[in-house]
Amino acid sequence: GHHVSSQRMRSRRRELRTRHDITSFAPQFISIYESLTPSEGEKEKQKQLLQSLEKLIIKEWPNAQLHLYGSCANSFGASSCDIDVCLAISDGEIDKSKILLRLAEILQSDNLQDVQALTRARVPIVKLKDPATGISCDICINNILAVVNTKLLRNYSQIDHRLRQLVIIVKHWAKSRGVNDTYQGTLSSYAYVLMCIHFLQLRRPAILPCLQEMQPTYMVTVDGIECAFFDQVQKLQHFGSVNRESIAELLWAFFSYWAYHHDYANDVISVRTGGIISKQSKDWTRRIGNDRHLICIEDPFELSHDLGRVVDKFTIKILREEFERAAEIMQYDPNPSVRLFEPY
Ligand code: ATP
Ligand code: MG
């Protein structure tokens, strides 16, 4: 009865929506993307906050530097996102907790709001809010690897504008559906960005190259890790242009990849190599400690680091169901740009 006829309906509709059909939804996704991107005014306010923090910090630590990292610097930030700042102090041995507590003191006496030192967090930080702009900010110490991976992400986004569109929409989807929270066992924004870069590296024709496999023009060693990649991305402006896929097609293919095609049992996605590598080769085939490796996303620089390690046997199910839901909507829904982002 009901079941059979809905099956029939589905297969009829499956024939109906083609690559061409899906592309007719591109303008709707583009306008969602545009409504999510921060305005010039917001960027300006962030810059001002950074400058006033710099003034305060230089007084106390004359050799220190402030770097922006995370979504406010990698081009994948939505409007009104918090800013992530790294305080770089290179004076040999330092006591991070002591510096964070002193920093909190300084910020408090400058009338910044909600100043809080979280010295026991996995990444110890000071949190604050700027009353003038309403912007919240986290400051960490000497997390230079995050500054370097932020640069890699930003450089990728400068090659083809579809990466930024894809990431901003995927992050919006993940936040709406409750699957962007490492404390709850789902994935970080950083993990989603790597998934999008990897996906565009594997399109045929490719939309993104593999910057770490090219002749390096940028090299630094951070915490004993050599970070090297090609960063003259202005020379790669036309790299992806042979591929004409629209953002709607890419979203459709992205979700269907993670819903139906990714080999969760054997594969690791690797932006570093521009392809798929095996769990076997990384020895990520079994649970070690708390790392379960149920979805494997290799960090481009910390090679032993799996961004999927926060996912457990319950949340992998939730994630995969969400990928399937999204793929189904892209395939069948008459109004995909609405239903995709419905709150869970
Ligand atoms: P959002 O808009 O959700 O705040 P975000 O880009 O700031 O997104 P986060 O996941 O909050 O993303 O991470 C901020 C930055 O911290 C990342 O851009 C990355 O540089 C670094 N980072 C985050 N998680 C990791 C990780 N597990 N390993 C290495 N670096 C990380
Ligand atoms: Mg952030």
Q: Which residue CA neighbors atom 30 of ligand 1 most closely?
A: 146
Q: Which residue CA neighbors atom 29 of ligand 1 most closely?
A: 146
Ligand nearest to the CA of 81: 1
Domain extent listing, the chain: 40-143, 146-339
Task: Name the stretches of the chain with pLDDT < 50.
Answer: 1-2, 4-5, 8, 11-13
Going by their DSSP bridges, the two strands 83-88 and 136-141 should be labelled as parallel
Ligand nearest to the CA of 188: 1
CATH hierarchy code of domain 40-143: 3.30.460.10
> What span, in angstroms and rounded, lies between the C-alpha atoms of 239 and 235?
9
Rounded to the nearest angstrom, the distance between the alpha carbon of 62 and the centre of ligand 1 is 27
Note the ipTM here.
Answer: 0.97
Cβ atoms of residues 264 and 278 within 8 Å: no
Closest ligand 1 atom number to CA of residue 188: 10
Rounded to the nearest angstrom, the distance between the alpha carbon of 151 and the centre of ligand 2 is 14
Smallest CA-to-CA distance from 309 within 153, 179, 171, 187 is with 187
Cβ atoms of residues 296 and 288 within 8 Å: no
Question: Cis ω on the peptide bond leading into residue 300 (within 30° of 0)?
Answer: no
Cβ atoms of residues 153 and 74 within 8 Å: yes
C-alpha distances in Å from residue 105, one per residue of 56, 94, 98, 330 = 11, 18, 11, 51
pLDDT of res. 208: 98
On the 0-12 / 13-18 / 19+ scale of CB atoms within 10 A, 46 is buried
Strands (E), the chain: 65-69, 83-88, 113-118, 125-129, 136-141, 218-222, 225-229, 267-270, 275-278, 296-298
- Phi, psi (rounded to 5 degrees) for 129: -130, 135
What is the separation of C-alpha 259 from the centre of its chain, rounded to a whole number of angstroms? 19
Rounded to the nearest angstrom, the distance between the alpha carbon of 13 and the centre of ligand 1 is 39
Q: Rounded to a whole number, what is the largest CA-CA distance in the chain?
A: 76
Torsion of the alpha carbons at 157, 182, 130 and 72, rounded to the nearest 10:
0
pLDDT in tens, 261-305: 999 999 999 999 999 999 999 999 998 888 899 999 999 999 999
Any residues with Cβ below 6 Å from ligand 1, and which? 69-71, 74, 76-77, 81, 84, 146, 149-150, 188-190, 299, 305, 307
Closest ligand 1 atom number to CA of residue 307: 27
Closest ligand 1 atom number to CA of residue 76: 6
On the 0-12 / 13-18 / 19+ scale of CB atoms within 10 A, 254 is buried
Tell the residue number behind the tokens 């996303």, with chain if given. Answer: 297
| Count of CB atoms situated within 10 Å of the CB of 273 | 16
pLDDT in tens, 144-199: 999 999 999 999 999 999 999 999 999 999 999 999 999 999 999 999 999 999 99
**104 backbone φψ class: left, alpha, beta (φ>0; ψ -120 to 50):** alpha
Ligand nearest to the CA of 144: 1
**Sequence letter at residue 216:** P
For 146-339, the fitting CATH number among 1.10.1410.10, 2.40.110.10, 1.25.40.10, 3.40.50.970 is: 1.10.1410.10
> What span, in angstroms and rounded, lies between the C-alpha atoms of 100 and 65?
15
Closest ligand 1 atom number to CA of residue 77: 2
Domains 40-143 and 146-339 share a fold: no
User: What's the count of helices (H) and strands (E) in the chain, helices before strands?
Assistant: 12, 10
Ligand nearest to the CA of 71: 1
> What span, in angstroms and rounded, lies between the C-alpha atoms of 269 and 258?
11
Cβ atoms of residues 133 and 38 within 8 Å: no
What is the separation of C-alpha 66 from the centre of its chain, rounded to a whole number of angstroms? 21
> What span, in angstroms and rounded, lies between the C-alpha atoms of 333 and 135?
37
Cβ atoms of residues 262 and 250 within 8 Å: no
> What span, in angstroms and rounded, lies between the C-alpha atoms of 160 and 157?
6
Rounded to the nearest angstrom, the distance between the alpha carbon of 188 and the centre of ligand 1 is 7
